[in-house]
A and B are shown apart, each in its own frame.
Chain A
Amino acid sequence: MAGEARPGVGTAPERRSPWSLNNPRVRAVVYQVALVAAVVLAVWYLAANTAHNLEVRKIASGFGFLEREAGFEIGESPFISYGAADKYKTALTVGLLNTFRVALIGVVLATLIGTVIGLARLSHNWLITKIASGYIEAIRNVPLLVQLFFWYAIISENLPGPRDAVNPLPNLYLSNRGIAFPVFASHPVHAWLGVALLAGIALSWLLARWASARQARTGQPFPVFSAGAALILGLPFVVFLVAGAPTTLNRPELSGFNYTGGGVLTPEFAALLAGLTLYTAAFIAEIVRAGVLAVDRGQFEAGAALGLRPRRAMHLVILPQALRVIVPPLTSQFLNLTKNSSLAVAIGYPDLVSIANTTMNQTGQAIEGIAIIMAVYLTISLSISAIMNWYNKTIALKGAAR
């Protein structure tokens, strides 16, 4: 057989009938039609079964249930007010906001901690390196869920009740009801601080554009980083001073069985945040380390040979190359953290999955509930990927791509 086919690998299709199954193109079409037909049939079969089963069980499909009264309380809803009389729609929104809350804070903290530990692993100091790698190995080889249970057990079982709360810093109370901390009393200047921060960011962006245009024109560098930092931090500070520096604190006070006033992190939120942050930080540390190691040592020396000072060499030569290696896996860690926040359901933090789960149990609308969960996570995943692909393109090697 192989002997027959050999002489005419290139010419054979022309000699044969165009509709023969030996024609690779025809074969490809046949395979694909068969595959698509099989998939469509399978989906149709499952859908038909589902429709029949729903009919037998008298479950109405559709998203009409979202308008009905939820009838369950949610432990924490820091952004919008919610009560048991509200609709399922509102309950799910609360869940979504809670997911975003823990994911956003988690991403920021995990990046900070991960970077520090990743750099620590590269230290010359044997002790620092060992502590960092011990941390990474211990955290990476234990399931996140076990770690979440562990943190939750520490907070809810081993911390004392609110009456004898641990008080490591003034006005900071750790108890089995959560972590109570002071916050600034609300003051009209807070809105202006936000405006000043945005203005600072916008101004430093303009400044960076002007500085790079001037450097291209005249070769004169401008300390954009320090000036930008001064603008972003300084403007809000000036506004703060002008408003008379209002530093009134809302302190947590023990009243009855819990703390009121100030801010509070519930045990669920604190355990979830600690678990997610420390877990993801271990992975980010490895990514940062790999990124720094990926930059050739010669690059630093080349920068020095060009007369760049170490800081500028770091900024202009090393970081851009390291970031190119770091950003793609870092993105997938951010996504992992967001997806892992769904483990909240196991310790009772009311995130999207947990509330959708309650909703499914109450209404029996399993398909809709899971569709909502999947749609939300897919949207988050795909949008973060899209943003990161765009960012990757902007930092990719110039010249190679164009």
Chain B
Amino acid sequence: MSPARPAFRSSPVRWLRENLFYNVPSAIVTLLLAYVAWSALAPFIEWAFVNAIWQAPDSKGCREAKGIGACWAMITEKHRFILFGTYPFEQHWRPGLCILLLLALYVVSAMRRFWRPALALVWLAGLALIGVLMWGGIFGLAYVENERWGGLMLTLLLATFGIAFAFPLSILLALGRRSDMPAVRILSVGYIELIRGVPLISLLFMASVMLPLFLPEGVSVNKLLRAQIAIVLFAAAYLAEVVRGGLQAVPQGQYEAADAMGLSYWRKTLLIVLPQALRVAIPPLVNTFIGLFKDTSLVVIIGLFDLLTSIKVALGEPAWNGFGVEAYIFASLVYFTFCYAMSQYSQNLERELARGKAHYLREN
């Protein structure tokens, strides 16, 4: 707890004494815990790495090693299917390129020096390009209907489009919830609380079975779009609460200053309030994004072909039946990579913004 002096930091013995063996009970706890951790970890390492089967064209080798070594061969064999679902095999470079494009967009948006209005245009162009690549039908690309999209690509698409469309909606809802007009406020509060009060799965069911009933006869919306709509509506309610938190953090004086300058409501909101509110709200927004990214996995329940569904389908093949633990560890690793990156980013950003603020306060 006490801040270690830099002079002592270099000594590993001192570090051990301060952090692991500072008195007799702590030493006993450390040794006991280390023993327990090792006796759990050692068999796992043996199973997952030492005895694991990494390649096997059929599952025979895996069946022989069952219980002794992990069968990662299933992932090696089915990786194309897990990444791209049922997208035509010879066209896999298209969703592959889209994944890279999306990753590039994420990275660019994460850098603060690119935070300017032009970024929205970059996103629009990027998403349009992804649409062209995925659907095709022009520039000599074969048309691929979106029933065939799948795998990791679909997970990323559902999450990206879900957030991209839900975000503007959530800002409107948050502003509505803080509005002076009672009707606007009641409608916003009602929407937000209704959506947040029910599980996402009920909204997905609603989108998959009720949406067709809502639409006029003859109009049909495909399954992917229906699920996407449900995710957008769901995400908007959760993001709205985060944005509201940001709005509340803007000091009252800022609103009053904008009023005193004679700005209209929208100019006040767009020029004064939102830039400050969203800046505060970015770290919790990223945390909400993590939640939404994880929640896209629920589309497996309504039979959409995302990452998790592809893995389940691959597991359903007689050859790979029974290797669920390996398959779900792999799925966990994929989700973990994305979510952990986002959470580390959000924590760094929070620290950076706090430092910036402290610096600003010191200077002024």
Contact = CB atoms under 8 A, between A and B. Distances in A.
B297 A145 contact: yes
Interface in B285-338: 290, 294-295, 297-298, 300-301, 308, 312, 322-325, 327-329, 331-332, 335-336
Contacts of B198: 339, 373-374, 377-378, 381
B164 interface: no
Contacts of A369: 205
Contact of B37 (A131, A138, A157, A381): A131
A304 to B, nearest CB: 16
Interface centre among B201, B329, B331 (most CB of A within 10 A): B201
Interface centre among A6, A142, A146 (most CB of B within 10 A): A146
Interface in B181-217: 181-184, 187, 194, 196-202, 205-206, 209-210, 212-217
B55 interface: no
Contacts of B210: 366-367, 370
A39 B187 contact: yes
Interface in A325-356: 339-340, 342-343, 345-346, 353
Contact of B197 (A5, A32, A140, A377): A377
Contacts of B76: none
Contacts of B64: none
Interface residues of A, number: 60
B181 A153 contact: no
Contacts of A366: 205, 209-210, 213
Nearest to B341: A141
B13 interface: no
A141 B19 contact: no
A369 B22 CA distance: 60
A143 B343 contact: no
A150 interface: yes
Contacts of B20: 125-127
B201 A146 contact: no
Contacts of A33: 183
Given A5-B262, A370-B205, A153 B184 contact: no
A150 B329 contact: yes
Given A32-B182, A127-B34, A157-B322, A145 B209 contact: no
A9 B261 CA distance: 10
B262 A2 contact: yes
A125 B262 contact: no
B248 interface: no
A142 B106 CA distance: 19
A146 to B, nearest CB: 5
A150 B328 contact: yes
Contact of A145 (B181, B290, B298): B298
A217 to B, nearest CB: 41
Query: Chain A: interface secondary structure?
Result: helix
Interface stretch (A44-52, A79-87, A316-324): A44-52
Contact of B331 (A36, A124, A146): A146
Contacts of A345: 201, 301
B30 interface: yes
B104 interface: no
B115 interface: no
Contacts of A52: 216-217
A263 to B, nearest CB: 26
A346 B301 contact: yes
A203 interface: no
Contacts of A31: 181, 184
Nearest to A380: B197
B331 A6 contact: no
A28 B327 CA distance: 56
B335 A141 contact: yes
Given A142-B336, A153-B328, A124 B26 contact: yes
A6 B1 CA distance: 58
Query: Chain B: interface secondary structure?
Result: helix
Given A343-B298, A366-B210, A374-B202, A125 B328 contact: no
B18 to A, nearest CB: 9
A146 B262 contact: no
Nearest to B191: A39
Interface string A368-397: 011001100110011000000000000000
B262 A53 contact: no
Given A142-B339, A150-B329, A128 B213 contact: no
Contacts of A152: 324
Contacts of B325: 150, 153-154, 157-158
A384 to B, nearest CB: 10
A331 B323 CA distance: 37
A144 interface: yes
B19 A9 contact: no
B180 interface: yes
A369 B96 CA distance: 40
A242 interface: no
B340 interface: yes
B119 interface: no
B33 interface: yes
B322 to A, nearest CB: 5
A9 to B, nearest CB: 6
Contact of B308 (A39, A138, A141, A145): A145
A39 B295 CA distance: 28
A141 B340 contact: yes
A49 B295 CA distance: 30
Contacts of B262: 2, 5-6, 9
Interface string A217-253: 0000000000000000000000000000000000000
B213 A54 contact: yes
Enumerate the 7 nearest inter-chain pairs by beta-carbon distance, A residue then B residue, closest first: A153-B324, A141-B339, A126-B19, A32-B183, A143-B294, A381-B197, A150-B328
Given A49-B215, A370-B210, 6 more contacts: A126-B19, A127-B20, A127-B33, A137-B343, A150-B332, A373-B202
9 contacts: A49-B214, A127-B33, A142-B336, A149-B308, A149-B331, A158-B67, A346-B301, A373-B202, A377-B197
